[in-house]
């Protein structure tokens, strides 16, 4: 299995979450990079910094046959652990794009305390309600790891664990709703869920979800 070379968080809207003085400080401390339309954005193999999209858009495809992900204003991305092979990498500006680039330590200090939660609505009509997850544990993680964290959070806050140690969720997990909670595009979420089903870690049903192997899901959640 090919591991992703980059992590990203979509629909985060950092520029709307941060107080104006914190956003100003971020701009002052960051390395500001401006890239023209269709310019290839360079990242060195040892680059571990966090990039915040302040203006424009970025297209990211970190390996061949992977989904091409569109990132917009307020989204973030960075290089995951492992070797970076530019052969299959697409990291390209769309429109005139401005990035604020900071170290993970600076990002945690300045930005993380203001990120709050990701949320989505489930149910219909008078039964609609909010599901949410805190953003902080999802930072700097790959899509599969992040989805595992979200599933564990939902089992803990919305579901139950039976006497045999299996997780139960009395709701249908739709990829687009999980995409809202993970900052991952729905197509990637759908494929990860399918692989978890194939590996007998969980089973998706029309009326609910059963997590057969919580220990393995926890291992994935800690894998990066």
Domains, the chain, ordered by start: 6-113 (2.60.120.10), 117-221 (1.10.10.10)
Q: Read off the DSSP letter of residue 208.
A: -
Calpha distance 97→37 (Å, rounded): 7
Cα three-residue angle 134-135-140, rounded to 5 degrees: 140
Based on its alpha-carbon atoms, the radius of gyration of the chain, rounded to whole angstroms, reads 18
The pLDDT tens digits of the residues spanning 151-186 come to 999 999 999 999 988 999 988 888 999 999 999 999
The pLDDT tens digits of the residues spanning 181-222 come to 999 999 999 999 999 999 999 998 877 899 999 999 999 999
Residue 120 · residue 134 · CB < 8 Å: no
Calpha distance 67→96 (Å, rounded): 23
Calpha distance 63→137 (Å, rounded): 25
Terminal-residue alpha carbon distance, the chain: 15
Kindly report the number of other CB atoms within 10 A of residue 120's CB atom: 15
Indicate the burial class of 67 (C-beta count within 10 angstroms; 0-12, 13-18, 19 or more).
middle
Residue carrying the six token digits 């989505």: 120
192-197: long-range contacts, CB 8 A cutoff, minimum separation 24: 192/143, 192/144, 192/147, 193/147, 195/144
Comparing 61 with 148, the larger pLDDT belongs to 148
Does the pLDDT at position 88 exceed 80? no
Does the pLDDT at position 26 exceed 90? yes
Q: Could you tell me the pLDDT band of residue 1, with boundaries at 50, 70 and 90?
A: very low
Does the pLDDT at position 84 exceed 60? no
Q: What's the whole-number mean pLDDT along residues 103-116?
A: 96
Q: Could you tell me the pLDDT band of residue 25, with boundaries at 50, 70 and 90?
A: very high
């Amino acid at each position: 299995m090919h591991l992703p070379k980059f992590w990203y968080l979509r629909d985060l809207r950092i520029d709307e979450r941060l107080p104006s003085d914190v956003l100003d400080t971020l701009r002052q401390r960051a390395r500001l990079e401006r890239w023209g339309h269709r310019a290839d954005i360079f990242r060195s193999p040892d680059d571990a910094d966090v990039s915040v999209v302040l203006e424009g858009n970025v297209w990211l495809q970190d390996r061949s046959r992977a989904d091409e992900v569109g990132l917009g204003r307020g989204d973030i991305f960075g290089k995951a652990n492992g070797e970076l092979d530019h052969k299959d990498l697409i990291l390209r500006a769309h429109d005139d794009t401005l990035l604020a680039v900071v170290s993970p330590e600076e990002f945690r200090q300045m930005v993380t305390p203001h990120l709050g939660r990701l949320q989505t609505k489930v149910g219909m009509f008078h039964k609609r309600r909010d599901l949410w997850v805190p953003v902080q544990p999802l930072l700097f993680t790959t899509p599969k790891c992040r989805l595992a964290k979200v599933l564990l959070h939902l089992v803990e806050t919305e579901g139950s664990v039976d006497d045999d140690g299996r997780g139960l969720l009395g709701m249908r997990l739709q990829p687009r709703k999980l995409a809202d909670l993970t900052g991952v595009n729905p197509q990637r979420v759908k494929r990860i869920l399918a692989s978890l089903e194939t590996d007998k870690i969980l089973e998706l049903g029309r009326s609910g979800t059963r997590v057969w192997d919580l220990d393995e899901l926890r291992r994935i959640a800690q894998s990066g």
